[in-house]
A and B are shown apart, each in its own frame.
Chain A
Amino acid sequence: MPGQNDSAIQKTPLAEAHEKLKATMVDFAGWWMPVQYTSVIDEHITTRTKAGLFDICHMGEFIVKGSDALNFLQKLMVNDINKLSIGRVIYNLMCYENGAVVDDLMIYKLKENEFMVVGNACNVKKDSDWLNNHKENFNVEIEDISEKTSKLDLQGPKAEEIMKKLTDIDFPARFHFIETNFLGVKTIISWTGYTGEDGFEFYFNKEHTLKIWNSILQAGKEYGIKPIGLGARDTLRIEACYSLYDHEINDKITPIEAGLGWAVKLDKDFIGKEILKKQKEEGTERKLVAFEMQRGIARENYEAYIGEEKIGFVTSGTFSPTFKKSLGMALIKKEYAEEGNKINIKIRDKFYEATIVKRPFYKFNGGK
């Protein structure tokens, strides 16, 4: 099996539990992770209709604190956290001077002058370097807590009912979080997710991972909960048109090109502002579009054409378990990026027709 003999590969506290469940394990960003337990389609539909539990312990977490913590993050992040209150979480991105993306992140305001920054597993080292290299004269401390922090996601229409069996906390709205005692463990419970469904993300000290994982699975049994692998995590987020680093965004794609202009706030200063301001005002040469296909499955990096002209490439593509058809996202020349346009995707030297459609494929299915 790939990666198994690689001593450098990292394991989450649940690796053994996944193997016991006969999950197919793969090396993902240097982590030994479950891609599927039974079937991507089954796990996807379970999350859409019941509830799914995800091992996301590979993600990176940082604590940024100090009297300049806010100003420091404001300088590095494109979205405005000035008005973020304690107990709120916001989507954000860090960009290079040229506007391309270092990483996309979630920012939690824990206290005045203290934030938790959550980034992608593949970018932990890069994020750490980027943060630390920009400390300058800011009075700020940066602690990488990834190693000791576990993260689980509970997602799906039954997630809240399952949680009500486990805790009597009040359930506030999406993009809020609380720090609380959950199953005897100090936990951050966040009303966020990456699936298009209602649900929660949990952060806690890794020594308690198996206990929390098993307790949620046990409580969710009567609702049909299942553990969900990274395969379905990807098909769920593609249907919801959420960006994934190294697909829709990377160090060669800007947030404006990727349709994330809503998160770029021009009434403050930040690294990359000059070019992003220009792009926001004047438009970009390329635009991210969503497309669907009658036949064939477009995969990442397949080329997009109109006639003989290459107009861009696929950033993510899959068979959609919800809609039972092939769909994806592509970064293409803006003059062709109109809804209803037909483009061709080159799959193994043959052209397959795709139609540009409205984003997202799957609208957020939460109540609040």
Chain B
Amino acid sequence: MENPKELKYTKEHEWVKVDGDTATVGITDYAQNALTDIVFIELPEIGKKVDKMKTVAVIESVKSVSDIYSPVSGEIIEVNETLNDDPAKVNKDPFGEGWIFKIKITNKDELNNLMPVDEYNKISKEE
């Protein structure tokens, strides 16, 4: 699966879609493929304030537990509750229906730390 051009990325294999002061966050195809069999996602609470690169959600496959970091600081404004019933959506459609949470960005300068697709392609193909 190609990494979409319009998204930004972290080295922790998260993608970020920026729309005004809102960022939608999920994990990349590379990440879902490495995890396989995602069976549980602990979503953050709406209204929770988070700092950049701090744990905000937890994703569990049959054999592993992985932290999801917030790529930017802000406040959680929406979570993908459909993942409670069907966490495998993250495997099937990581860049679409498998989005995980939306965050209201407090400091847009932090977006400069994120990678454009060309840079992320190098990482996701090397590992």
Binding site for B on A (CB under 8 A): 35-36, 38-41, 231, 234-235, 295-297, 299, 318-319, 321, 326, 348
Residues of A within 8 A of B65 (CB): 297, 299
Q: In the complex, which residue of chain A has the Cβ closest to the Cβ of B84?
A: A295
Interface pairs (29), CB distance under 8 Å: A36-B36, A36-B63, A38-B36, A39-B36, A39-B37, A40-B37, A40-B63, A41-B37, A41-B62, A231-B62, A231-B63, A234-B63, A235-B62, A295-B40, A297-B40, A297-B60, A297-B65, A299-B65, A318-B62, A318-B63, A319-B37, A319-B39, A319-B40, A319-B60, A319-B62, A321-B62, A326-B39, A326-B40, A348-B42
Q: When A and B form their complex, which 8 residue pairs have the shortest distance between CB atoms, in order from nearest? A: A319-B39, A40-B62, A41-B37, A231-B63, A39-B36, A39-B37, A319-B62, A297-B40
Interface secondary structure of A, over-half rule: mixed
Give 1 or 0 for each of B26-64: 1 = CB within 8 Å of chain A CB.
000000000011011010000000000000001011110
Contacts of A297 in B (CB 8 A): 39-40, 60, 65
What's the minimum C-beta distance from B75 to chain A, rounded to whole angstroms? 21
B92 to chain A, nearest CB (A): 13
Interface of B toward A, CB cutoff 8 Å: 36-37, 39-40, 42, 58, 60-63, 65, 84
6 further A-B pairs in the complex, CB-CB below 8 A; given A297-B60, A319-B60? A36-B36, A39-B36, A40-B61, A231-B63, A348-B42, A348-B58
In contact, A296 and B37 (Cβ under 8 angstroms): no
A36 contacts across to B, CB distance below 8 A: 36, 63
A116 to B14, CA, bound (A): 51
Chain B residues near A299 (CB-CB < 8 A):
65
Interface centre among A39, A299, A319 (most CB of B within 10 A): A319
Specify the chain A residue showing the minimal Cβ separation from B127. Answer: A1
Output the nearest chain B residue to A1 by Cβ-Cβ distance: B127
Q: Which residue of A lies closest to B67 (CB)?
A: A348
User: Which listed residue (A35, A41, A231, A296) contacts B40, Cβ 8 A?
Assistant: A296
Question: Is the CB–CB distance between A35 and B60 below 8 Å?
Answer: no
Docked CA distance A38–B37 (Å): 10
